[in-house]
Amino acid sequence: MKEQYTPPTIWTHDAESGGKWASINRPVSGATHTKILPVGEHALQLYSMGTPNGQKITIMLEELLALGKSAEYDAHMIKITEGDQFSSGFVDINPNSKIPALVDHTPDGAETVFESASILVYLAEKFSALLPEKSTQRTQVMNWLFWLHGSAPYLGGGFGHFYAYAPEKFEYAIDRFTMETKRQLDVLDKQLAKHEFIAGDEYSIADIATWPWYGNLILGKLYDAKDFLQVADYNHIQRWAKAMLARPAVQRGCIVNRTWGEAWEQLENRHSAEDIDNVLALKPV
Q: What is the structure's pLDDT at 235? A: 98
Mean pLDDT of the region 18-30: 79
**CA 174 to chain CA centroid, nearest Å:** 22
Asked if 29 and 145 sit in the same domain, the reply is no
Asked if 188 and 71 sit in the same domain, the reply is no
- At 101, is the pLDDT very low, low, confident or very high (cuts 50, 70, 90)? very high
Report the distance separating Cα 104 and Cα 113, nearest Å: 8
In which domain, by residue range, is 61 found? 1-130
Asked if 70 and 142 sit in the same domain, the reply is no
Mean pLDDT of the region 18-43: 88
Asked if 143 and 76 sit in the same domain, the reply is no
Domain boundary among 107, 130, 153: 130
List, for residues 170-199, the tens digit of each pLDDT value.
999 999 999 999 999 999 999 999 999 999
Domain boundary among 115, 130, 145: 130
Q: Which residues contact 125 (CB under 8 A, 6 or more apart)?
A: 131
Given a cut of 80, whether residue 209 has pLDDT beyond it is yes
Contact 206, 197 (CB under 8 A): yes
Asked if 114 and 1 sit in the same domain, the reply is yes
Asked if 197 and 244 sit in the same domain, the reply is yes
Nearest CA-CA partner of 84 in 133, 50, 35, 128: 35
Question: Would you say residue 111 lies in a domain?
Answer: yes
List, for residues 258-276, the tens digit of each pLDDT value.
999 999 999 999 999 999 9
Question: What's the predicted TM-score (pTM) here?
Answer: 0.96
Given a cut of 70, whether residue 21 has pLDDT beyond it is no
13 compared with 8, residue with greater pLDDT: 8
Given a cut of 70, whether residue 244 has pLDDT beyond it is yes
Query: Residue 39 belongs to a domain with what CATH number?
Result: 3.40.30.10
Beta bridge partners of 200: 197
Given a cut of 80, whether residue 250 has pLDDT beyond it is yes
Asked if 178 and 125 sit in the same domain, the reply is no
Question: Would you say residue 261 lies in a domain?
Answer: no
Question: Would you say residue 14 lies in a domain?
Answer: yes
Contact 237, 214 (CB under 8 A): yes
Asked if 199 and 249 sit in the same domain, the reply is yes
Question: How many structural domains is the chain composed of?
Answer: 2
Asked if 119 and 141 sit in the same domain, the reply is no
Which letter, b or e, does each residue of 117-145 get, where b requires 16 or more Cβ atoms within 10 Å of its Cβ? bebbbbbbebbebbbbeeeebeebbbebb
- Phi then psi for 52, rounded to 5 degrees? -55, -40
Dihedral angle, C-alpha 211, 50, 87, 72, nearest 10 °: -90
Asked if 11 and 24 sit in the same domain, the reply is yes
Dihedral angle, C-alpha 80, 102, 57, 99, nearest 10 °: 20
| Extended strands (E) in the chain | 44-48, 73-77, 101-106, 109-114
